[in-house]
Amino acid sequence: MASASSSSLNLENVPSVDLMTELLRRMKCSSKPDKRVILVGPPGSGKGTQSPIIKDEYCLCHLATGDMLRAAVAAKSPLGIKAKEAMDKGELVSDDLVVGIIDEALKKPSCEKGFILDGFPRTEVQAQKLDEMLEKRGVKVDKVLNFAIDDAILEERITGRWIHPSSGRTYHSKFAPPKVPGVDDVTGESLIQRKDDTAAVLKSRLEAFHRQTEPVIDYYNKKGNVVNLPAEKPPREVTADVKKALS
Contact 190, 182 (CB under 8 A): yes
Active-site choice (25, 194, 203, 244): 194
**Is-catalytic flag, 26?**
no
Residues 6+ apart with CB under 8 A from 96: 129
Contact 40, 216 (CB under 8 A): yes
Q: What is the DSSP string of 104-136?
A: HHTTSGGGTTEEEEES---SHHHHHHHHHHHHH
**Which amino acid, one-letter code, is at 23?**
L
Active-site choice (32, 84, 169, 205): 205
Active-site choice (36, 47, 113, 129): 47
Give the integer Cα–Cα distance in Å for 76 and 149: 39
Residues pairing with 176 in the sheet:
172
Contact 215, 123 (CB under 8 A): yes
Give the integer Cα–Cα distance in Å for 65 and 212: 16
Q: Would strands 170-172 and 161-163 be described as parallel, antiparallel, or unpaired?
A: antiparallel
**Is-catalytic flag, 236?**
no
Contact 217, 226 (CB under 8 A): yes
**Is-catalytic flag, 47?**
yes
**Is-catalytic flag, 205?**
yes
**Is-catalytic flag, 157?**
no
**Which of the 8 DSSP states describes residue 225?**
-
Q: Chain-centre distance of CA 207, in angstroms?
A: 21
**Which of the 8 DSSP states describes residue 196?**
G
- Supply the residues annotated as catalytic: 47, 122, 161, 194, 205
